[in-house]
Amino acid sequence: MKHTVKIGALVCAALLSSNVQADTVFGGYVGAQAWNMGVSGGFAQNQSLTSFDYDTKTNASFYIAIEHLIPLVPNVKLARTNMDFDGATVIDSEFTFGDEVFLVNANLLTNSEITATDYILYYEVLDNDLISFDIGISGKQIDGEIRVTDENGSSSMQAFDGIIPMGYAKLVIGLPLTGLSLFAEGSGLAIDDDSFTDYQVGVSYSFAESLAIDMYIHAGYRATTLDIEDLDDINADLEFDGAFIGVEFDF
């Protein structure tokens, strides 16, 4: 009986040790945000940009990161953000979009669906309770469609899809004994006439901690600018910005 108890204890100890080692070598985090997004700017198809009055809209963002201690191999993060928007305008010049020509003084509506997906490879330069700093590269895939409709029901839609290579960085500064931390995260690129930036700054609060998982709530400000020429025949100079709130689980 005593031998059975000892063997059981050894098995439990081995399992616990293996779990601790796995948590030490592999970890990561997953989260989601609600972004109250305002939009400004305009778009067109191979002509001068036409601006719209856009509605403020709440869009969603989701992300997951896998981290490890394997030398020279980067960590991986995948993030996906919806950037849908609606708008209206009265044009003061002829506007061609897709296979439709919209005449002067036409009342136009736009219903646009855009998704940004970030494929990020990064290294942890610093990682402790006071400060952590990540740096890497990102491929941001912009995939969507823009639809324009006038008051007579004439409508045209243009789809586009492209990947933009970008630099990436993230900084987190802990505030000791408070459960709070400040963070800034962003990516950006400027080549010739095309430029893209995406950054967020905010505060994070740890409201639950355990051996298996930590939970945080985030709040802050996010801004994305998109200035492109001839992405699948689309030209755009758009800015998306506003406050966000989210939750994150670290494991």
Rounded CA separation 111/6 (Å): 68
- 80: exposed, middle or buried (Cβ count in 10 Å: 0-12, 13-18, 19+): middle
Rounded CA separation 84/112 (Å): 6
Arithmetic mean of pLDDT over the chain:
88
Q: Is residue 33 part of a domain?
A: yes
Q: Is residue 8 part of a domain?
A: no
Q: Is residue 18 part of a domain?
A: no
Least confidently predicted of 7-11, 40-44, 45-49, 222-226: 7-11
Q: What is the CATH number of the domain that holds 195?
A: 2.40.128.90
Q: Is residue 3 part of a domain?
A: no
Domain that holds residue 107: 28-250
Q: Which residue has the higher pLDDT, 18 or 149?
A: 149
Measured from the Cβ of residue 11, the count of other Cβ atoms closer than 10 Å reads: 10
For residue 166, what is the DSSP state? Answer: E
Q: Is residue 175 part of a domain?
A: yes
The pair of three-digit structure tokens given for residue 162, joined into one six-digit string: 């492209």
Radius of gyration, alpha carbons of the chain: 24
Q: In the predicted model, is pLDDT for residue 99 greater than 90? A: no
Q: Which residue has the higher pLDDT, 153 or 56?
A: 56
Digit-coded pLDDT (tens) for 158-200: 999 988 899 999 999 999 999 999 999 999 987 766 778 999 9
24 pLDDT band, cuts 50/70/90, is low
CA distances from 120 to 77, 80, 117 (A): 5, 11, 10
The pair of three-digit structure tokens given for residue 148, joined into one six-digit string: 């324009």
Q: Which residue has the higher pLDDT, 8 or 219?
A: 219
Measured from the Cβ of residue 122, the count of other Cβ atoms closer than 10 Å reads: 19
3-state SS, 189-245, equals EEECCEEEEEEEEEEEEEEEECCCCEEEEEEEEEEEEEEEEEECCEEEEEEEEEEEE
Question: What pLDDT score was predicted for residue 22?
Answer: 39
Q: Is residue 7 part of a domain?
A: no
* Cross-strand bridge partners of residue 147: 111, 157
Digit-coded pLDDT (tens) for 29-62: 999 999 999 999 999 987 689 999 999 999 999 9
Q: Which residue has the higher pLDDT, 48 or 237?
A: 237
- Percent of the chain having pLDDT more than 70? 89
Number of domains in the chain: 1
Q: Is residue 12 part of a domain?
A: no
238 pLDDT band, cuts 50/70/90, is very high
Q: Is residue 80 part of a domain?
A: yes
- 79: exposed, middle or buried (Cβ count in 10 Å: 0-12, 13-18, 19+): buried
